[in-house]
């Protein structure tokens, strides 16, 4: 499963499909199921970091893991990603969920510099109001004195 | 227990290699040294084999394939592709990784012209500060000269 998120995103809850060896959705898993474990790795590192799964609280709970609805969406789970997973410095992270008797479920996170959900400026700093204003101002500052000087010298001649 | 074989897709800025990618492979008893890696760029007619190499410490060199952590990240390997595989000149490259007695896994890499990780300008030349400054300066200069000329000589403007 691949997700594209802006690097530095915080408080992110993702939904993960967990399948059994035959490809069907595996129901009934919890944070304390047999063999339950999770580890993640940031780009550039070869040392996995363990993530302790826990029941989610009422709000964002790093490591929170729960089944969504075993009847309506069998195999779908909710995972509260710790902010460190999305913090970089690399441009991607990978997270593995492990349960006894199941193949590992991988979550691949592309950490991009832009904000795919910003309809105004795609999260790009160069398109921010202040950045555009600064660019316009500096262009004005460079042009005006030269033209004023020309006018003055024309007036003197 | 049966492992899942996953094909993957990545988006990277072309010309940004060499670069490491994670690939998920079905685990076998084979070692990385037995792996076969082929690649096919959009500007190639047939796949080329990538020679795997490891440095003296056994870590990945260009073309290297290294198992990351068998216990915690089972099946996850790091594949380092040489710069030539990701170079300008193609829009995509397919990389096939195969361990003996296991199906091949295909990594599809989109070689794009922008830099997905650049939150400032997205790697776009048109967004570079110097380019925008130069563009704005030329516009301002033209507009101001016309405006000043009109102010100083209103009759020529009215004619």
| pLDDT tens per residue across span B90-126 | 999 999 998 888 888 899 999 999 999 999 999 999 9
Looking at the complex, report in whole angstroms how far the Cα of residue A58 sits from the nearest Cα belonging to chain B. 29
Q: With 50 as the cut, is the pLDDT of residue B60 above it?
A: no
* Residue B120 counted as domain residue: no
The CATH number that applies at residue B45 is: 2.60.40
Q: Within this chain, do residues B38 and B64 fall inside the same structural domain, yes or no?
A: yes
Give residue B101's pLDDT.
Answer: 82
* Residue B20 counted as domain residue: yes
Give residue B2's pLDDT.
Answer: 39
Give residue A143's pLDDT.
Answer: 85
Give residue B29's pLDDT.
Answer: 64
Question: Does the beta-carbon distance from A143 to B144 stay under 8 Å?
Answer: yes
Region of poorest pLDDT, from A66-70, B21-25, B76-80, B101-105: B101-105
Q: Within this chain, do residues B102 and B135 fall inside the same structural domain, yes or no?
A: no
For residues A91-95, give the mean pLDDT. 96
Residue A47's pLDDT band (cuts 50, 70, 90): very high
The CATH number that applies at residue A85 is: 2.60.40
Q: Within this chain, do residues A99 and A22 fall inside the same structural domain, yes or no?
A: yes
Q: Within this chain, do residues A16 and A89 fall inside the same structural domain, yes or no?
A: yes
Q: Within this chain, do residues A37 and A108 fall inside the same structural domain, yes or no?
A: yes
Q: ipTM of this predicted complex?
A: 0.80
Residue B110's SS3 state is strand
Q: Within this chain, do residues A99 and A142 fall inside the same structural domain, yes or no?
A: no
Q: Within this chain, do residues B46 and B91 fall inside the same structural domain, yes or no?
A: yes
* Residue A71 counted as domain residue: yes
Distance (Å, rounded) from C-alpha A67 to C-alpha B100?
Answer: 37
Place of tokens 């020529």: B156
- Residue B17 near residue B89 (C-beta atoms within 8 A): no
Give residue A96's pLDDT.
Answer: 97
Q: Within this chain, do residues B93 and B54 fall inside the same structural domain, yes or no?
A: yes
Q: With 50 as the cut, is the pLDDT of residue B4 above it?
A: no
Question: Does the beta-carbon distance from A147 to B145 stay under 8 Å?
Answer: yes
pLDDT tens by residue, B23-37: 988 766 666 777 889
Q: Which residues of B touch A94 (CB under 8 A)?
A: 22, 73, 76
Looking at the complex, report in whole angstroms how far the Cα of residue B43 sits from the nearest Cα belonging to chain A. 26
Q: With 50 as the cut, is the pLDDT of residue B5 above it?
A: no
* Residue A100 counted as domain residue: yes
Give residue B3's pLDDT.
Answer: 40
Handedness of CA B83, B44, B106, B114 (dihedral sign): positive
B144: domain range?
A: 128-158
What is the length of chain A? 157
Q: What are φ and ψ of residue A122, in 5° steps?
A: 55, 20
Structure tokens at A125: 């700093």
Q: Within this chain, do residues B86 and B151 fall inside the same structural domain, yes or no?
A: no
Q: What is the separation of C-alpha A17 from the centre of its chain, rounded to a whole number of angstroms?
A: 18
For residues A69-90, give the mean pLDDT. 95
Distance (Å, rounded) from C-alpha B24 to C-alpha B4?
Answer: 9
Burial class (CB in 10 A: 0-12, 13-18, 19+), B79: buried
Identify the DSSP state of B54: B
Q: Within this chain, do residues B99 and B46 fall inside the same structural domain, yes or no?
A: yes
Q: What is the separation of C-alpha A86 from the centre of its chain, rounded to a whole number of angstroms?
A: 5
Q: Within this chain, do residues B52 and B106 fall inside the same structural domain, yes or no?
A: yes
Q: With 50 as the cut, is the pLDDT of residue A19 above it?
A: yes
Output the 3-class SS for A36-101: CEEEEEECCCCCCEEECCECCCCCCCCCEEEEEECCCEEEEEEEECCHHHHCCCCCEEEEEEECCC
Q: Within this chain, do residues B77 and B154 fall inside the same structural domain, yes or no?
A: no
Phi-psi sector, A75: left (phi>0), alpha (psi -120 to 50), beta? left
Handedness of CA B77, B78, B82, B87 (dihedral sign): positive
For residues A118-143, give the mean pLDDT. 90
Q: Within this chain, do residues B147 and B107 fall inside the same structural domain, yes or no?
A: no
For residues B124-140, give the mean pLDDT. 89
* Residue B30 counted as domain residue: yes
Q: With 90 as the cut, is the pLDDT of residue B155 above it?
A: no
Identify the DSSP state of B32: G
A56: domain range?
A: 2-112
Q: Does B67 touch chain A (CB under 8 A)?
A: no
For residues A93-108, give the mean pLDDT. 96
* Residue A118 counted as domain residue: no
Mean confidence (pLDDT) of chain A:
92
Q: Within this chain, do residues B31 and B107 fall inside the same structural domain, yes or no?
A: yes
Q: Within this chain, do residues A104 and A129 fall inside the same structural domain, yes or no?
A: no
For residues B77-81, give the mean pLDDT. 90
Give me the number of domains chain B comprises: 2
For residues B48-56, give the mean pLDDT. 74
- Residue B15 near residue B86 (C-beta atoms within 8 A): yes
């Amino acid at each position: 499963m691949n997700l594209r998120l802006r690097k530095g995103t915080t408080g992110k809850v993702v939904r993960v499909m967990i399948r059994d060896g035959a490809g069907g959705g595996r129901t009934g898993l919890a944070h304390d199921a047999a063999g339950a474990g999770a580890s993640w790795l940031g780009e550039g590192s070869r040392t996995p970091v363990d993530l302790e799964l826990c029941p989610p609280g009422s709000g964002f709970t790093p490591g929170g893991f729960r089944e969504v609805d075993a009847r309506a969406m069998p195999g779908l789970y909710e995972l509260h990603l710790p902010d460190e997973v999305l913090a970089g410095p690399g441009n991607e992270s990978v997270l593995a969920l492990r349960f006894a008797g199941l193949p590992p479920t991988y979550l691949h996170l592309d950490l991009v510099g832009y904000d795919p959900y910003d309809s105004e400026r795609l999260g790009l700093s160069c398109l921010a109001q202040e950045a555009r204003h600064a660019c316009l101002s500096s262009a004005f500052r460079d042009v005006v004195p030269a033209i004023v000087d020309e006018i003055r010298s024309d007036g003197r001649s | 227990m049966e492992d899942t074989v996953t094909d993957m897709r990545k988006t990277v800025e072309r010309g940004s290699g060499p670069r490491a990618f994670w690939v998920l492979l079905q685990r076998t008893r084979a070692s990385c040294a037995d792996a076969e890696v082929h690649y096919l760029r959009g500007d190639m007619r047939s796949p080329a084999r990538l020679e795997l190499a490891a440095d003296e410490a056994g870590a990945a060199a260009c073309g290297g394939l290294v198992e990351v952590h068998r216990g915690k990240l089972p099946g996850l390997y790091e594949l380092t592709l040489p710069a030539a595989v990701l170079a300008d000149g193609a829009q995509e490259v397919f990389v096939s990784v195969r361990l003996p007695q296991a199906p091949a896994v295909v990594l599809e890499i989109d070689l794009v012209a922008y830099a997905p990780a650049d939150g400032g300008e997205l790697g776009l030349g048109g967004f570079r500060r110097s380019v925008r400054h130069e563009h704005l300066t030329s516009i301002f200069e033209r507009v101001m000269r016309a405006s000043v000329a009109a102010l100083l000589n209103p009759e020529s403007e009215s004619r």
